């Protein structure tokens, strides 16, 4: 029996900024329900890879396939393709003048043309999934960083995306707030979400990731089961990164 088609296939992707290569031939397959964690030093290309997948950046060469469809084809409507993905950034990017509920309900209203009533019902359902029902009417500045990030995750779930892309979503949080956001990501993973996540939270990666990819200089130098890559890496560069990383904590 042939393997099922991956949700995401990154094939030979290269990307340069001003002639400086940032991604140099990245290949990555993500199967449905899989959690893939990207690790690597600052500047190794993790965010660029996620941004290329979300079509926020054009790739120079290679392809991005979502459920087998080449969404990096310039003839494709990027806005439409992007709706199958939910991306969350380090900075929460909530609209400050809108309540938590309005932030979550905005896209269903504007993009899908849902009625206000339907969009709000959906928004409340999404907020309850991230345990923030009681904060529906709060403005972002009245929410903690962890709560704001959970609102951003609720917003990313608005279209039941095929793929969640999470870029260092706990890096801007006070340490005591990191746990609640990682717990939510763990719950989403356990519920079967397909996730690609850049993070420096190695303990979380070990616990939740199916696959860990170590990036260095725009290449995936090593990838494999989390326990193997994080505990007994094959490559010297991975070992050096993990040692430096542990030493720096
Ligand atoms: N818009 C841009 N214009 C020019 N160079 C960029 C741009 N975005 C990223 N780069 C460069 O590309 C390289 C990879 O950056 P990227 O943000 O993907 O790294 P990262 O692995 O996410 O790092 P970090 O852990 O600090 O988030 C860096 O050298 C960065 O300076
Ligand atoms: Mg980054």
**Would the CB of 15 count as within 6 Å of ligand 1?**
no
Domain end point (choices 128, 143, 160)? 160
Q: Is residue 51 part of a domain?
A: yes
CA separation for the pair 208, 189 (Å, rounded): 7
Nearest ligand (C-alpha, residue 200): 1
Residue 131 lies in a domain: yes
Q: Residues 4, 25: one domain?
A: yes
State how far the Cα of 30 lies from the Cα of 163, in Å rounded to an integer.
9
Low-confidence ranges of the chain (pLDDT < 70): 1-2, 247-249
**Domain match, 79 and 201 both:** yes
CA distance 38 to 119: 33
Query: How, if at all, do strands 20-30 and 8-17 pair?
Result: antiparallel
**Residue of 37, 43, 166, 221 best suited for mutating to test ligand 1, as the one with most atoms within 8 Å of CB:** 43
Ligand number, closest to the Cα atom of 215:
1
pLDDT value for 58: 94
Q: Is residue 90 part of a domain?
A: no
pLDDT tens-digit map of 51-86: 999 999 999 999 999 999 999 999 999 999 999 999
172 and 154 within one domain: no
Give the CATH number for residue 206. 3.40.50.300
Tokens of 151: 């609102």
65 and 37 within one domain: yes
Angle at which helix 116-129 crosses helix 100-110, to 10 degrees, equals: 130
- Per DSSP, helices labelled H in the chain are 46-53, 78-82, 100-110, 116-129, 145-156, 175-190, 202-208, 226-231, 236-247
What values do phi and psi take at 53, rounded to 5? -60, -40
Structural domain for 100, as ranges: 96-160
Tokens linked to 134: 């009681």
Examine the domain organization and report whether 154 and 166 are in the same domain.
no
Burial code (b: 16+ CB inside 10 Å, e: under 16) for 225-239 equals ebeebbeebeeebbe
Same domain, 72 and 4: yes
**What does the pLDDT read at residue 248?**
60
Residue 43 maps to a domain: yes
Let me know whether 166 and 156 are in one domain.
Answer: no
48 CA to middle of ligand 1, Å? 6
* pLDDT at res. 249: 56
Domain match, 129 and 244 both: no
Alpha carbon distance 42, 55 (integer Å): 21
Boundary of a domain, candidates 160, 188, 212: 160
Whether residue 19 sits in one domain with residue 54: yes
The reply to whether ligand 1 has any atom less than 6 angstroms from the CB of 246 is: no
Count of domains forming the chain: 2
Q: What's the gap in Å between 199 CA and the centre of ligand 1?
A: 15
Looking at residue 184, its pLDDT comes to 94
Three-state DSSP class for residue 198: strand
């Amino acid at each position: 029996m042939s393997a099922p088609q991956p949700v995401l296939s990154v094939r030979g992707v290269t990307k340069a900024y001003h002639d400086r290569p940032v991604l140099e031939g990245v290949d990555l397959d993500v199967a449905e329900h899989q959690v893939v964690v990207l690790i690597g030093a600052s500047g190794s290309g993790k965010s660029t890879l996620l941004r290329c997948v979300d079509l926020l950046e054009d790739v120079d060469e290679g392809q991005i396939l979502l459920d087998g469809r080449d969404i990096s084809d310039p003839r494709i409507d990027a806005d439409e393709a992007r709706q199958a993905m939910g991306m969350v950034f380090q900075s929460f990017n909530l609209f400050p003048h809108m309540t938590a509920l309005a932030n979550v309900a905005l896209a269903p209203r504007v993009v899908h043309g849902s009625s206000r009533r339907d969009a709000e019902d959906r928004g409340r359902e999404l907020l309850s999934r991230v345990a923030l029902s009681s904060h529906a009417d709060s403005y972002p500045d009245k929410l903690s960083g962890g709560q704001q990030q959970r609102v951003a995750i609720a917003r990313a779930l608005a279209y039941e995306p095929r793929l969640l892309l999470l870029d260092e979503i706990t890096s801007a949080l006070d340490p005591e707030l990191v746990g609640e956001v990682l717990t939510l990501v763990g719950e989403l993973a356990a519920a079967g979400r397909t996730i690609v996540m850049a993070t420096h939270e190695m303990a979380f990666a070990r616990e939740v990731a199916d696959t860990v990819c170590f990036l260095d200089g725009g290449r995936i130098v090593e990838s494999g089961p989390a326990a193997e890559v994080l505990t007994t890496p094959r490559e010297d560069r991975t070992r050096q990164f993990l040692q430096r990383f542990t030493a720096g904590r």
